[in-house]
Copies of this chain bind each other. A is one copy, B any other.
């Protein structure tokens, strides 16, 4: 069997069964986005790796090396944000073709430095290897989280509200603009969408407010797409969910791009992926107050987009016209055919 037949998440489950070991110092091990380790200190240690593969995650004609450096670090910082943590250090592993320009590498590291400086993260090591083919960039981020502030995927309870930070679908809209020059929008619409795709902002400030509130019951960052990522929360928490199209925070720009692509805007928001916004749950009674607190302290809008159901009630998406459709994982699967 090929890994494309199995799919990314079943493959991760499969290898987790091979290497997974119950150990007192492993709070959260393989299969989640961030490893949480109890090394005996006051805080838990966080460790996360994510890669940018040339040809899979980026094309050098569509992203500058400085943007790529920022992005490669930012997507890892987003995972630290997803558990309410604070990033501290990074390592960078590169495999590059021997004829890569030194100036390109310089710019990549300037982007890493820029993003790191913004969030107090210093690059402390890494590896350089030659690649016979495309380039690979792996960024590893270490961080910490207060033991009583860590927010996992497993805590959502029926009756909780589902909240998201920022807007959804901008990154997917930006990617479409990058890939299809025939899509014409104004510069004022185009630039923010491109920026949201190329240099997403990890929601660390928002995460700190959420973690500090003690109100969130579960959290994840939106890397693959809301439909996929909320599915991970449902699995770990053993719950169902109902999301409402009407509530999805979609920018006018993303709606415009969706229209040009003859798609409903909700599809970009639900399945688009790479928004790196936070999706979290909190008791319904607290949701409004928490959203207001985050907006006030960070300036980032927070929206209630759904509610957690008992597991046996399933996972649903409610369209504006009232139809309910089953919520499948429409997000990114690395090994899915086509």
Contacts and interface: CB of A to CB of B under 8 A. Distances in A.
A102 B140 contact: no
B57 A129 contact: yes
Interface residues of A, number: 83
Interface string A102-123: 1101100110110010000011
A40 B132 CA distance: 41
A123 B47 contact: no
Contact of A29 (B32, B42, B51, B125): B125
B102 A53 contact: no
Contacts of A30: 123-126
A297 interface: no
Contact of A335 (B28, B122, B130): B130
Interface in A1-35: 1-6, 8, 11-12, 14-15, 18-21, 23, 25-26, 28-35
> Max chain B CB contacts within 10 Å: which of A18, A34, A37?
A18
Contacts of A132: 53-56, 134
A127 B19 CA distance: 14
A131 B53 CA distance: 7
A171 B235 CA distance: 46
B100 A35 contact: no
A144 to B, nearest CB: 7
A47 B31 CA distance: 21
Contacts of A122: 19, 21, 23, 26, 29
Given A116-B19, A128-B12, A138-B51, A2 B101 contact: yes
A185 interface: no
B47 A113 contact: no
Given A101-B2, A102-B2, A337-B98, A37 B91 contact: no
20 contacts: A2-B101, A3-B105, A5-B102, A15-B105, A15-B109, A19-B122, A19-B123, A25-B88, A26-B89, A26-B124, A29-B122, A41-B41, A49-B138, A50-B127, A51-B138, A53-B131, A54-B132, A93-B138, A98-B335, A133-B133
Given A40-B41, A47-B125, 10 more contacts: A3-B105, A8-B128, A19-B112, A20-B123, A25-B88, A37-B142, A55-B133, A56-B132, A91-B140, A128-B335
